[in-house]
Structure 1
Amino acid sequence: MTPTPTPTVTPTPTANVTPTQTRTPTPTATQKPPGSSGGGGGGGGSAPINPGWSTPEPNPTPTPTPREADSGSLHLGETGLVDQVARIHAADGIATLTIAEGIRAVDAAGNPLRAVTLATIDAADVPAAPGAYVFAGYACIAGPEEAVFSSPATLAFTFTQEQWDTVYNGSVQGGLVVQRYNRSAGTWEEVPTTVLPETRSVTAEALHLSAYALFVAAPGDGAAQAVAADTGPEPTAGREIPYALLIPGLLALVIAGAGALLYFRKGEP
């Protein structure tokens, strides 16, 4: 008997599905804190951990700002010295008193000074000027009177161009000077003074709180007269002959002429 052949089933080919490529996200690098090392071993490349703190930046040291006031309080440190610059202005805007750091200021009783004032003085209230000087028209008073500084403060008279032309016009070098009125002695006393034409100002050293005024050297003062007296005698040439000596000389000349005339007449035949 002939066997019946069994049919062979041919499998249907299955289509291969191409897998979709998934993009792997690239990790974002985390900024390293200041001072951390960048070490590097092989591992999985994990990002460094942020410790949650940062190094603070140093703050700049502030510069002391001068006080600007018509009457100012002095800021004193633990040692009693002025530890902040104080600048006090008079009401006229011309006079200014500047007290620097490191100065010890005490009142008449020796107690620490905590406030300073500066006011203008009317010309009528200014004590009489010294004989060799003329009052220039500007004066002020710093108070409380009789207070003193361990180092001089700076008193300045600063002018507009028009005022400066009036004050400085015609004055010789060194002619402008600031003086302090010593009330107990009743006299004016010169203080070290600097004239600054480029800034139209005159500055002076102030050790005491008192009245201060600006003076200019008087023309023809004692010093000028002394110079004139030391010039010596004038030369004879060109000097006028005194009138009292002229008359006797003329009389002698007339008499001599008359005698000569008589002599010649006697000799005639």
Structure 2
Amino acid sequence: MDIRYIISLLILLSLACTAAALPVLPDEFAGSVTLDGKPAPAGTVITARIDWNERGSTVTTKAGEYGPLDSPGVLAVRATEEDLRRSGSPIITFWVNGHKADQEVAFTGGATRRLDLSAVTGGEDDQVPVASGRNSFAIEGVGITDTDGGQQVVINNRTVLGGITTNETAITLSNVDGWEEVVIFTRERPAGDMQLAGTIESVYARSSPINTGSAWAQVDLEMSRHPGSTAQLDTTIYQNPKTDEQEAFETVVYQMTGKNINSFAYVLNVQKTNVANEGDGGIIRAATIRMAAGPEWVTSMGGVDNVVILRQADDGTTTGLETHCLKERDAAGNYIFEAVSPGGLSAFALVATKAPSSSTGDGSGSGTTPGGGSSKDPGSQLVYDPSAPEVHTGRVSLATSPTGVVLESVTVRTTDEACAVEIREGTTARDADGNPLGEVTTTRIAPADVPAAPPGTTVAIALSCGPAGATFDPPAVLTYALSGEEWAKIDKGATPKVMWYNPETGKWQDVPATVDPATRTVTAEVSHFSIYALAWAVSGTTAPETQDTPTPEQETAGEPGAAFPTWALALVVVLVAALAAFLVMRKK
């Protein structure tokens, strides 16, 4: 063959490979966002997930809108190679302050579009996923057939994407298709070299860990046979149980130990497809559950002796599992708890227990202490007890679960007692980086340091709530207490209002507030921390609108088609150029 043709073909192939190796570009989204039909407040966290795994997030800087496009606030969603391996167009779900939005779209790569989001809070089964994984038994290079002589396995060494070892009665596959290890036990020594074959006696499988960033979980399976290539497990970690799950878990702990649940670390839910537990007529004889938790959580719960793994079967039966803590921690210092589940796979919870409170004002097993402090039901971490929490001045530590759920209501006020912030038990509190919030501060700002107020508005009290950027779901409660002199201003035509200062725009924005004449207080709910001010607006003077007006481009509604992926466009251009070069060379 002419050397020119060979060179042209090599150029064509190299250019094609280079184009195909380009990284997949993110999809970018911007638009309006509502919670319970109302504009979501500034500081709202919007998260995008694929198969429950977080693939992008942003924090809104103005009420009712995220983005806009071509700005740092745009929501960029990046699919991983694993996402695209599972599906060419994986589905993106959106979450608004931990509540699932109604909208879902398919990932395309390189698309830029407006997408208006709407979510509803307060659903009793509104679980927040933290991480997920999928384990399929359709392993590349492994063939399973059923014969009269038993179930046969044939493994092609050349196509298995992982390690393979054998011994007298087993074939071990390592790091294949989401499995850390799969051991196929055979009746006889596996035969063959490039192709291994044998009659299956039983199968053991260990999943790769599902990592939440601060913890992880893993399952081992013991099966009487191979479940076949259509079987798979979908495993999801949630930061909180469903309402009915929580009640069942609390009941079984009290029946087992006489203790209450102090905290849920997380819940592990395993969904089975075309494979079932032995008790349901399936092949899963037993399972070993391995759940890791951070040292801070374990220590705050009183140590490893208070931690237990619970199981809720598919029929709702709830039991406690004999749990032990492994001697060695993982590389991150996490404690590893392990338990055998004789009934197989379903839903599991890692919880900490504590003895119920016996010190009550009326001698009963529940209620409020004589001092007025909170005596919450220890078995109900996520239920708010309206008993007044202890009040702190200036600064207070916040006890939270590893996922940021507040374990005890707190109130922190300024030294002059003019302002106070209350964060209620059950609130999800995170810092600006999305980590569990550990501390809350409140500080009065000197008048000279207060940003200029809008015309017609006078700032009475400015409060710095820290750390800046912290978020709360549901919102924290901010209260201003007015003196008699300040209250008298209302009779003179002044209107009290609460505003927050947006450092991104350099503007003050109004916050809905409630005025209570009986207590002379002004109260507002705040979903994030910044500078907040109690201000007076004089009647007859109209302050300019503090909200930015969306541009016509931002107001454009509709569902535009997905943009042609940039990587695909680059591939087409490169191929066309290479083909043209080939044709030119051929003519010479």
Q: Any unmatched runs of 5+ in structure 1?
A: 1-56, 224-269
Shift of 1:184: 1.5
Query: Which residue of structure 1 aligns with residue 474 of structure 2?
Result: 151
Mark the structure with the bigger radius of gyration: 1
CA shift digits 1:54-96 (9 cap, x unpaired): xxx9733662461321211112135531121110011121000
Query: Which residue of structure 1 aligns with residue 441 of structure 2?
Result: 117
Shift of 1:120: 0.3
Query: Which residue of structure 2 aligns with residue 170 of structure 1?
Result: 492
Report if aligned partners of 1:138, 1:214 keep a CA contact under 8 Å in 2: yes
Answer 1 or 2: higher relative contact order, Cα 8 Å, separation at least 6: 1
Alpha-carbon RMSD: 2.3
Query: Which residue of structure 2 aligns with residue 88 of structure 1?
Result: 412
Aligned with residue 399 of structure 2, among 75, 92, 99: 75
Tell me the SS of whatever aligns to 1:198: coil
Inter-CA distance 168–59: structure 2 relative to 1 (3 Å threshold): same
Match for 1:103: what amino acid?
T
Report if aligned partners of 2:475, 2:526 keep a CA contact under 8 Å in 1: yes
CA shift digits 1:93-147 (9 cap, x unpaired): 100001111111111111110100000011111111112x422421111001111
Answer yes or no: is 1:184 the counterpart of 2:504: yes
Tell me the SS of whatever aligns to 2:391: strand
TM-score under structure 1 length normalisation: 0.56
Report if aligned partners of 1:155, 1:205 keep a CA contact under 8 Å in 2: yes
Aligned with residue 213 of structure 1, among 509, 529, 533: 533
CA distance in structure 2 between the partners assigned to 1:118 and 1:75 by the alignment: 17
Shift of 1:171: 2.9
Query: Which residue of structure 2 aligns with residue 6 of structure 1?
Result: none
CA distance in structure 1 between the partners assigned to 2:390 and 2:398 by the alignment: 9
Query: Which residue of structure 2 aligns with residue 60 of structure 1?
Result: 366
Tell me the SS of whatever aligns to 1:124: helix
Q: Any unmatched runs of 5+ in structure 2?
A: 1-362, 369-374, 377-387, 544-588
Report if aligned partners of 1:149, 1:208 keep a CA contact under 8 Å in 2: yes
Shift of 1:176: 1.4
Query: Which residue of structure 1 aligns with residue 88 of structure 2?
Result: none
Inter-CA distance 200–222: structure 2 relative to 1 (3 Å threshold): closer
5 Å-filtered alignment, 1:1-269, equals: 59-60=365-366, 63-64=375-376, 66-70=389-393, 71-77=395-401, 79-131=403-455, 133-165=456-488, 167-171=489-493, 175-222=495-542
User: Which contiguous aligned blocks of 4+ residues in structure 1 show a shift greater than 6 angstroms?
Assistant: none
CA distance in structure 2 between the partners assigned to 1:138 and 1:158 by the alignment: 10
Tell me the SS of whatever aligns to 2:404: coil
CA shift digits 1:212-266 (9 cap, x unpaired): 111122333248xxxxxxxxxxxxxxxxxxxxxxxxxxxxxxxxxxxxxxxxxxx
Report if aligned partners of 2:431, 2:467 keep a CA contact under 8 Å in 1: yes
Which structure: greater strand fraction?
2
Q: How many residues align?
A: 164
Inter-CA distance 83–171: structure 2 relative to 1 (3 Å threshold): farther
